Amino acid sequence: MNNKFNYHLFAVMLLILFSCNEQKEETSANALRHFTYDKVEPANFPKLDIPGFNFPEDSTILNQWIHEMDTNKIYLHGWGIWTGLTSLTSQKIPGDPRNLRVFETWMTPEEMIDSIKNQPIQRSNRANLKVPNQFTHFASKQKTVNDSIFESVSYSPGASDYAIQNKIFMATTLYDMAKNQNRVEIPFFPTNAITIKPVFKLLPTSGGETQFDIATWPGTIDSLAAFPEKDWNNYVTVDVSGQGDGNNNTYSLDDFIHFKLNDEDAYFLNQEFSENIGNQFNAKPGDVAILVGMHVTSREITNWTWQTFWWTADPDNPAAPSSKSIADSRPDELKGAARHYAMAVAYYMVDPNEPYEGENIMGAPNYAFNPYLEAGFGPGVFDDAISFVNTADGKINTYAGVRTNCMSCHRMATVNPDALTKSSNSNTPYVGNSFVSRSESIFEGQLLLDFAWSIQGNVDTTGIKAYLEQ
């Protein structure tokens, strides 16, 4: 009798165990089904009534500004792009009373890859937040990784249409271009293409707290060294209850571009953090993501225009690499929280602007970096052999984050066609501010990506092994 009872008990326990495992697997497999999906349409760059600003601007006009060093017009152009990106659309996300901004509607690499594969796009939300790719890419060279900020990468409709039509994220496409078409660079993006990298900091407001201290940029340093957030020693308090007005260094949430995480945001952020950093993260619906920075680039000129933005407590007189003269160029049409950000621009690598190709180019450095992204990088991240600027007074080394330039760094964006199945699929390093010729010997055997590191970091290897075996 006892044996029969024990047998049945054992059988019941096994049934419960398998049922629990099946339930866990089903829960995991169906984890996304409870999200409410509604259509979000990527918004075109809006028409703006800003005197002196056009988008896309004719490259001849932009290059004339660059050649003549007409910085006022260059600054206005950067601010005009920022005004358009941060403009409000008529679209909303269910449960969120606020309108989406233009940049919040744009497609991510993951969504473009789904489109390339003819899979349905459930564009239901803002872009899900991720660990910055440049942090994980060089984690082995850094003593610490900034795990307090998150990013997304998005393409404007002009850029995403190009990426989908050219299947530019597919390893099979890139291999074919390099090996069968004998290309050294992918086809150029169209002139109306914009790519962005918004950077957010998370405030865990779901726990009931209303005030949070965040590090803000105090200005750059002269030394060739890393300058991460933990060393800034400069803070403001963000009051999410709406009480902050700038007095006592306390600011309202409405001084920041921000949004509240919903179920989908929290789910994907926790998953992303666990997979890429290796730690558990506990983002919750209701937590607030504040925009602290954004890289913005447009394909209006051959080397793209580069502008980067970050939140500052004193937007009328921001610290370097921005300046008061840059802030004074803000158009009146830029209003609200978007006006609380500083800007740096890189429409050329060195001053005066350089040719597309050449040797022994001399000039002055043109530093343009985002404090929340590059400032924390130390010399070990960069190739010190090519990170320098030749000036009339001698060589200036630039192998540190505070001496970088967006254009120089993104000129290095390549893939190695023989290593597309590997995570380390590029042989070209990061560089500081320097003149990088398109014909540099370092690019031999590589496929140039038209300045888009976002392609290299999101290569989809679907079908590449079968393709190589043909």
Closest CA to 114 of 153, 182, 163, 172: 163
- φ and ψ of 347, to 5 deg: -95, 5
pLDDT in the model for residue 30:
40
| pLDDT higher than threshold 50 for residue 142 | no
> What is the pLDDT averaged over residues 310-329?
98
Residue 235, number of CB atoms within 10 A of its CB: 14
Return all residues near 393 (Cβ < 8 A) that are at least 6 apart: none
β-partners of residue 288 are 203, 260
Structure confidence at residue 32 as a pLDDT band (50, 70, 90): very low
Please write the tens of the pLDDT for every residue from 340-375: 999 999 999 999 877 777 877 889 999 999 999 999
> What is the pLDDT averaged over residues 147-151?
79
Tell me which of 280 and 139 has the higher pLDDT. Answer: 280
Structure confidence at residue 188 as a pLDDT band (50, 70, 90): very high
> What is the pLDDT averaged over residues 383-400?
95
| pLDDT higher than threshold 70 for residue 426 | yes
How much is the mean pLDDT over the chain?
88
pLDDT in the model for residue 449:
98
* Candidate ranges 73-87, 108-122, 263-277; pick with highest mean pLDDT: 73-87
> What is the pLDDT averaged over residues 47-56?
98
Portion of the chain with pLDDT greater than 70, in percent? 87
Asked which of 11-15, 32-36, 122-126, 209-213 is least confident by mean pLDDT, the reply is 11-15
d(CA 102, CA 239): 26
Contact predicate 387/397, CB 8 Å: yes
pLDDT in the model for residue 293:
98
pLDDT in the model for residue 42:
95
Residue 170, number of CB atoms within 10 A of its CB: 22
Asked which of 12-16, 91-95, 198-202, 346-350 is least confident by mean pLDDT, the reply is 12-16
Structure confidence at residue 149 as a pLDDT band (50, 70, 90): confident
| pLDDT higher than threshold 80 for residue 35 | no
| pLDDT higher than threshold 70 for residue 235 | yes
> What is the pLDDT averaged over residues 2-16?
37
> What is the pLDDT averaged over residues 145-158?
83
d(CA 367, CA 293): 17
pLDDT in the model for residue 10:
36
> What is the pLDDT averaged over residues 429-438?
94
pLDDT in the model for residue 36:
60
| pLDDT higher than threshold 60 for residue 138 | no
Tell me which of 437 and 279 has the higher pLDDT. Answer: 437
Return all residues near 78 (Cβ < 8 A) that are at least 6 apart: 296, 305, 307, 343, 345
> Residue 199 burial (CB < 10 Å; 0-12/13-18/19+)?
buried
pLDDT in the model for residue 121:
74
pLDDT in the model for residue 116:
97
Structure confidence at residue 269 as a pLDDT band (50, 70, 90): confident
> What is the pLDDT averaged over residues 224-238?
96
pLDDT in the model for residue 124:
73
Q: Which two tokens stand for residue 357?
A: 């190709």
Contact predicate 290/200, CB 8 Å: yes
pLDDT in the model for residue 278:
55
| pLDDT higher than threshold 90 for residue 83 | yes
d(CA 82, CA 296): 8
Structure confidence at residue 13 as a pLDDT band (50, 70, 90): very low
DSSP string, 167-235: TTTBHHHHHIIIIIS--SBPPPPPTT-EEEEEEEEEE-GGGS--EEEEE------SSSS---GGGT--E
d(CA 197, CA 25): 34
Structure confidence at residue 22 as a pLDDT band (50, 70, 90): very low
Return all residues near 435 (Cβ < 8 A) that are at least 6 apart: 349, 350, 354, 358, 361, 363, 389, 408
